[in-house]
Amino acid sequence: MSLMNQLMVSMVEFLPKRVVKVFAMRYIAGEELGDALSLVGRLNSHGVMGTLDVLGENTRTEQDALFATKACEQVLHAIDGNHLDANLSVKLTQLGLQIDQELCHSHVKNILEIAEQHKNFVRMDMEDSSTTTATLRLYERLRSEGFKNTGLVIQANLRRSERDVKRLIEIKANVRLCKGAYVEPKTLAFKNREEIRLNYLKLLRSLLEGRCYVGIATHDDFLIRGAYQYIQDMRLQKSDYEFQMLHGVKIPLRKSIVADGHRLRVYVPFGEHWYAYSMRRFQENPRMARYVLRSLFSRSE
């Protein structure tokens, strides 16, 4: 991130939370489950699927991890009860990964069992690189235990991802492929935009050729055009992949993808831990931080 972008993000961090919240809620459904359910209902009415995410990560106590697990279970029951076309995304550090990996396994297993009851699916989000190996191991363990209703995420900016993808192709994993939102050291991650783009397309081709179901998660027009070309060249069926985007981001592009006849899913985060999520998004996309500051300046004129 450039010095100017770092400055912009730092300035937003000094703003009162109530001010940041006004802008953050463009990208977050709200603080309550009902807010998220209403949004997914509206998305479904326009032919768009959803994935709900209870915001929160890095829990430090077993009680907090259990509370987060119950919240995830509630989401699955609510999706079923409201007949929504949506699934669930979870963060393993929210469910106790950094406290005890066996505890986390137990929590995720409980969530997957409820998802099975409702014929639903749970995506295990990928967090910063310190958790990558543990996340992959837990995913592979759950698959070996017979859970087919779960997938995980690969980040194209990580140098290790090509090796990880080869492992996942062997078990025909369900993979969300994204660029990567976490700030990582150069030894572990590509930093150049074009390097990340090229690695994304390389990984996407490998996953599609390996007959993995892929969530093509990007807002990058260049990558979407590349994905379109792969889909055409490989003569893929609509059931072989889906596009994925974040709530509140590039809505015209989202509409265009749906109009072109592709399946699309929108990531719908909600919950009281909206601030940490928003700050990470500002770091990932400093233009959002500039927008916040510019809007405040314009109001003051």
Catalytic positions, please?
125, 176
36-72 CB burial, b ≥16 within 10 A, e <16: bbebbeebbeeebbbbbbbbbbbbeeeebbbebbebb
* 174, 150 Cβ separation under 8 angstroms: yes
Q: Which has the closest alpha carbon to 50: 81, 88, 82, 77?
A: 88
Exposure of 149 by Cβ count < 10 A (0-12 exposed, 13-18 middle, 19+ buried)?
middle
Output the six-digit token pair for 10: 């730092």
Q: Which segments of 14-160 does DSSP mark as H helices, in order?
A: 17-24, 33-45, 62-81, 101-117, 132-144
Question: Cα–Cα distance between 291 and 293 in angstroms, integer?
Answer: 6
* 214, 207 Cβ separation under 8 angstroms: yes
- DSSP letter for 189, please: B
